[in-house]
Structure 1
């Protein structure tokens, strides 16, 4: 049976991808969005409300810089979180970078803008939306790499099984297995004793050899549990030894749900941590407590997780640590 909410969002993204002038975009937005839509996006975007601000604050400038853009989702999940209907998706926005965007200089070359989006659907309309863009990767593709890379930098692929977008209802028991496995894995991360990686017991949850972790630019992509630990986990817990999950209050934008053998965890912000250790992204410890915005997508095979697509609003997180990435870009461009 077709899942109504997933089809609704898939149709919305498809029609938005085809709309090329403001009038067409507005027609699409009015069809699918609540008139008072609340839109938040990763930095440097400010919160927006209503269809007109969606166009002027986000989509209009994006389309002007990438006039042939196409939205290409490779994961699209639907579910419920605390009686709220949600749809989350990730993939690439692909287009020719033909005009400067957010002061990033054009390349006149194809650009893969890695994105994630989370939607709340109420009364048959999208009432709230959040967008993540991997802005450090846009900068990387444009020729700017401000932070030393530990892992390999690439535009991550979609699921190896090619089944991340299904508009059908999923098997409830399979969804339950995915959600429980993800929740147990996250609980394991929270049991770190400050000394040994083994205290988290992640071998119970991941396929140790086949695991793929597709992180944000600045961190990169890793293979296998040992690769994940070496290139991401150890540097991160060294830098933020007190890291934890933010309290899920009404004021916190958060969702966690599963759809078949896929699951999603979203928070705006999702966690906290005090920057007490050196080395992460080549940075010296600042002692600043920050609250990263994060969204994860996982794919499960049997009783193990095998793929993980991770977004962190790196521009916002670095800004909390006192680092103005776009200021660095401006200074570099101005010589």
Structure 2
């Protein structure tokens, strides 16, 4: 049974090298840890990038120039084989915050000269001991709010710098019991089955209770916010979200995996839906939009206890004719 130690070591080495690298050396450093056909998917406005040099020039160098002395504050780290390709590929997941001194503009966001934190989550596919593919989603609106340029109206959930898991046990650097991961993935899959249909015949709270603990915490993206307990999650996100959308497509993922009590997935997109009004205080917008999402879960017993969510809201609203970055730049 694979223990994923080689794959984890490859990602940790790349993370350390990127943190130490500066300026034009970033491209060479990233190239040393990635394959020649490296593919990167990122939050809007970055989209898909090809090759280490493009990723370094377009994303890492501008970010490190803006958030000086950048450091990774990692809360979750695990690996596993990908259920979506029959467990043929191995992926490594890292989630936490990128912390630095916000000393220069980034994407039109004004610097504060103060400490700032960018929520992130990344999935890395490993091939031949190197990173062949990355999906990296982050919460740009959360950074904008820290800089006094909050692009969204008052949200349904709470605006917080989000902590890691309650047990503080999610840096899975060592091998884990495979059966524990299989149990976690089974609960995630059961939840996806319920979530994907929106018509189970049960009340929303009863549907959620099938796979969620009563005291679950949903750590949502800025613009939606965090919420606690099934009842408040139903009231403050799941219920309003379902009421605001129609014609939701089937769920589809590029990667879905679990190790130990932690698991997650991402899609490009995960699903599409048509906004009929009310989401984030916005009016109906017409065409179906894409939802690019990363979800990370903690299982406790036979239920999901915590969920960290990254939704590319900038991409979704751009598809609806609203350029959030441009609008916020005028605040």
TM-score after normalising by structure 1: 0.92
2:213 is paired with a residue whose SS is: coil
1:30 shift after superposition: 2.6
- Contact conserved, 2:70 with 2:101, CA < 8 A, in 1? yes
Does structure 1 residue 152 correspond to structure 2 residue 158? yes
1:121 to 123, 126, 147: 126
2:90 is paired with a residue whose SS is: strand
Query: 1:103 maps to what in 2?
Result: 108
2:236 is paired with a residue whose SS is: helix
Give distance in 1, aligned partners of 2:103 and 2:240: 37
- Residues 236-289 of structure 1: per-residue CA shift (max 9 Å, x gap): 1011133243446xxxxx11111111111111111111112x221001112220
Alignment CA distance shift 1:322-1:173 (3 Å): same
Alignment CA distance shift 1:247-1:189 (3 Å): closer
- Residues 55-101 of structure 1: per-residue CA shift (max 9 Å, x gap): 21111101111121001221112111121111121110000000001
The worse-fitting range, judged by mean Cα deviation, of 43-52 and 53-62 is 43-52
Alignment CA distance shift 1:259-1:33 (3 Å): same
- Residues 141-177 of structure 1: per-residue CA shift (max 9 Å, x gap): 1112232211110111011111111111211111110
Does structure 1 residue 197 correspond to structure 2 residue 197? no
- Contact conserved, 1:100 with 1:106, CA < 8 A, in 2? yes
User: Mind listing any 5+ residue stretches in structure 2 that lack a counterpart?
Assistant: none
Query: 2:242 maps to what in 1?
Result: 237
1:327 shift after superposition: 1.5
Give distance in 2, aligned partners of 1:4 and 1:61: 30
After TM superposition, the structure 1 = structure 2 runs for residues 250-269 of structure 1, keeping only pairs within 5 Å, are 254-269=254-269
2:113 is paired with a residue whose SS is: coil
The worse-fitting range, judged by mean Cα deviation, of 25-34 and 135-144 is 25-34
Query: 2:192 maps to what in 1?
Result: 186
1:331 is paired with a residue whose SS is: coil
User: Mind listing any 5+ residue stretches in structure 1 that lack a counterpart?
Assistant: 249-253
1:67 is paired with a residue whose SS is: strand
1:218 is paired with a residue whose SS is: coil
Give distance in 2, aligned partners of 1:2 and 1:34: 18
Number of residues of Structure 1 aligned to a counterpart in Structure 2: 324
Alignment CA distance shift 1:287-1:18 (3 Å): same
The worse-fitting range, judged by mean Cα deviation, of 151-160 and 29-38 is 29-38
- Contact conserved, 1:192 with 1:199, CA < 8 A, in 2? no
Give distance in 2, aligned partners of 1:129 and 1:247: 18
Give distance in 2, aligned partners of 1:122 and 1:21: 27
Does structure 1 residue 74 correspond to structure 2 residue 75? yes
After TM superposition, the structure 1 = structure 2 runs for residues 12-27 of structure 1, keeping only pairs within 5 Å, are 12-23=14-25, 25-27=26-28
1:2 shift after superposition: 6.9
Alignment CA distance shift 1:56-1:26 (3 Å): closer
Give distance in 1, aligned partners of 2:53 and 2:206: 47
1:196 shift after superposition: 5.5
- Contact conserved, 2:39 with 2:134, CA < 8 A, in 1? yes
Give distance in 2, aligned partners of 1:170 and 1:308: 21
Alignment CA distance shift 1:186-1:246 (3 Å): closer
- Contact conserved, 2:200 with 2:207, CA < 8 A, in 1? no
Cα RMSD of the aligned pairs, angstroms, is 1.7
Q: Which runs of 4+ in 1 moved over 4 A?
A: none
